[in-house]
Structure 1
Amino acid sequence: MFDCPFCNPEKDPDQKIVFENEHCYFLQHPRHQDVLEGSGVIVPKNHQQDAFALTTDEWEATQELLQEAKEYIDRTYKPDGYTLGWNVGEVSNQFIFHAHFHIIPRYNDEPYAGKGVRFWLKSEENKRPDKVRSGQ
C-alpha cells in the first residue's frame, strides 16, 4: 500500500510516531492538535482494512499502546476525559481505509464537552426515516 499514510508514516514529515510496539504505532499529527490537543491514532503496521480485520496480536498490541497513550496524554495534556473509537466504512466517516483507533482527549472547556458517542445515538436529527427502518 504505497500511498497509504498509515503504512508509510515516515513519508509524512508532520506525522509523529510517538511510540510503537511490534504490531502497532501510536501516531499524532499537528492538524489534529489545533482542535483537541493530544489526539492521536493507533494503527496496525500491517495494512488492515478496518477493525474487523485485526489479528489477535494486533488487538493485544492496540490495547498495550492504548494504556501507554493514556499515560502519555494524561501527563502531557491533562484531559478531563476521552472519546475512543473506530470508524468502519464511508458512512461512518472512515476515509483512510487502514484500520485506525482514535484516541481523543476531551476537555471541560470545549464547545462539545459532554457530547460523546451516545450524543449521535440520541440525536433526533440523525433518526432514519420510519419506512427505511422497518425494512419496507
Structure 2
Amino acid sequence: MAYDQHCPLCNPDQDIEQTIILENATCYFLQHNKHQGILEGSGLIVPKNHRQDPFELTPEEWKDTYEILHEAKRILDERYSPDGYTMGWNVGKVSNQEIPHSHLHVIPRYNDEPLAGKGIRYWLKQEDNRRNKN
C-alpha cells in the first residue's frame, strides 16, 4: 500500500475535524468541518493509497471513485438538496493543488449563493487571466 505518513489525506482519521462519510475498497469520501460553513456539504473523494494526482489512479481506483461519487451524490441530495454540483481535480501547484494527494472536489451548489451560475471555469475565462506571450 502506497502511504505517506505526513499526508493528511493518507491519515484522514487523525484529523478530528475530518469525517469519513463513505468508504469502499480503495477510496474515501471525506468532509472537513472547516469547509462546511461556506461550502455546505462539500467533500473530497480520495484514494486510500497515496497518489499524487488522478493520472496515477489505478483502474480499480477509478471504478471505486465512480461508485463512491454516485453514493456521495445520493447522500448529499438527501441531506442538502443542492441545485447543482461543481466537481474537479487540481493537479500541480499552478492549479492550486495544495495537498499532493489526488482528491476530487465534490461541491454542492445552491441557487441562493452569491456566485450561483459561476462554474468551475468562470475565473479562468476572465480577461485578467490572459497569458502575456511576449
Shorter-chain TM-score bucket reads over 0.9
Partner of 1:75: 78
Partner of 1:41: 44
Task: Give runs of aligned pairs for residues 37-116 of structure 1, distance below 5 A.
Answer: 37-116=40-119
How many angstroms apart in 2 are the aligned matches of 1:72 and 1:124? Answer: 38
Q: Which runs of 4+ in 1 moved over 2 A?
A: none
Partner of 1:27: 30
Percent identity over paired residues: 62
Amino acid at match of 2:66: Q
- Which consecutive residues of structure 2, in runs of 5 or more, have no partner in the other structure? none
Amino acid at match of 1:126: N
The structure with the largest alpha-carbon Rg is 1
Q: Cα offset for 1:18? A: 0.3
Partner of 1:134: none
Match of 1:8 among 2, 8, 11: 11
How many angstroms apart in 2 are the aligned matches of 1:96 and 1:118? Answer: 21
Q: Deviations over 1:68-96 (max 9, x none)?
A: 01000000011110000000000101010
How many angstroms apart in 1 are the aligned matches of 2:81 and 2:132? Answer: 41
| TM-score for both structures, normalised by structure 1 | 0.93
Q: How many residues align?
A: 131
Q: Do structure 1's residue 117 and structure 2's residue 120 form an aligned pair? A: yes
